């Protein structure tokens, strides 16, 4: 598989995203198209706008599908990653969190597929950055010997930390997500010891898992889990002088420095 021609889907049915998601039903067995759309929308897929078709044409003009295809093949070769379908859609420009914390772009990775949500304002390197982050997730999910439904909070924050450090390694600090610079190392170390390490084994099914990961409910610092995951992985990479590829199979507790 490779990058799917979602540009034609969008030109045909932009204002009916549920119809577009009918094309995705074979990738989500037994899930209705409306439910697929709601799930993708939570993670950044567009809500129809009046000038939306023009934005799709702008994405085409910017050769977004070609950029992703070329860089995906480079990443797959470099990391020995799986062959998966990649779906590109406009991002939700009304989502303030995506605009603030993720530079207006986002993605969603599964073990066997990947979604990218982009705007026509994203540069080539910004596109490569979000692809790098999400495909690193795909590779970690495929190579790390633990089922995703068994992940606890520590697994999730390290997953995110690995992905964003892969962006740093490939493209440099200029293309990191905004949240990587929210706190100092001293602040992160304290938050790790006080807030996250004591809760490291919280399961994905527990509401507190997401609250700590994203820093929700004004109870926790924003993007808490993401920031600490990036900090822990960066520290481990620098101490051990290891690459992103070498970390894809490394146990979570080892990367986090927990014996």
Convert the pLDDT of each residue in 209-232 to its tens digit: 999 999 987 789 999 999 999 999
Number of domains in the chain: 2
Q: Are residues 21 and 101 in the same domain?
A: yes
Task: Evaluate whether residue 204 is within a structural domain.
Answer: yes
Residue with tokens 């949240």: 179
114 lies in the same domain as 132: yes
Q: Are residues 154 and 134 in the same domain?
A: no
Domain identity same for 95 and 174: no
Co-location of 135 and 157 in the same domain: no
Contact partners, residue 98, CB within 8 Å, separation at least 6? 44, 91, 92, 104, 105, 106, 117
pLDDT score recorded for residue 160: 97
pLDDT tens digit sequence for 169-204: 999 999 999 999 999 999 999 999 999 999 999 999
Widest pairwise Cα distance in the chain? 55
Range of the domain at 118: 6-143
pLDDT for residue 1: 67
pLDDT tens track for 45-73: 999 999 999 999 999 999 999 999 999 99
| Distance set, CA 102 to CA 122, 126, 148, 150 (Å) | 11, 10, 23, 27
pLDDT-based confidence at 123, cuts 50/70/90? very high
**Do 208 and 223 reside in the same domain of the chain?**
yes
Same domain, 27 and 102: yes
Is residue 1 a part of any domain in this protein?
no
Residue after which a domain boundary falls, among 143, 163, 185: 143
């Amino acid at each position: 598989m490779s990058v799917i021609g979602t540009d034609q889907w969008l030109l045909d049915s932009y204002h009916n995203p549920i119809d577009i998601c009918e094309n995705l039903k074979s990738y989500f067995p037994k899930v209705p198209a409306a439910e697929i759309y709601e799930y993708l929308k939570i993670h950044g897929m567009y809500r129809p706008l009046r000038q939306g078709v023009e934005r799709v044409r702008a994405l085409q003009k910017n050769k977004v599908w070609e950029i992703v295809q070329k860089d995906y093949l480079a990443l797959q070769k470099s990391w020995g990653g799986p062959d998966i379908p990649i779906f590109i859609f406009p991002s939700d420009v009304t989502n303030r969190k995506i605009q603030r914390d993720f530079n207006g772009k986002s993605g969603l990775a599964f073990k066997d597929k990947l979604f990218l949500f982009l705007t026509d304002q994203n540069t080539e390197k910004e596109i490569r950055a979000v692809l790098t982050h999400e495909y690193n997730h795909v590779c970690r999910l495929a190579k790390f010997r633990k089922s995703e439904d068994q992940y606890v909070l520590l697994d999730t924050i390290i997953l995110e930390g690995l992905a964003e450090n892969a962006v740093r390694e490939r493209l440099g600090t200029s293309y990191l997500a905004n949240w990587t610079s929210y706190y100092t190392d001293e602040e992160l170390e304290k938050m790790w010891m006080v807030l996250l390490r004591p809760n490291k084994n919280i399961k994905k099914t527990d509401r507190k898992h997401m609250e700590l990961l994203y820093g929700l409910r004004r109870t926790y610092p924003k993007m808490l889990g993401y920031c600490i995951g990036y900090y822990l992985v960066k520290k481990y990479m620098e101490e051990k002088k290891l690459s992103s590829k070498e970390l894809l199979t490394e146990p979570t507790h080892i990367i986090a420095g927990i014996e």
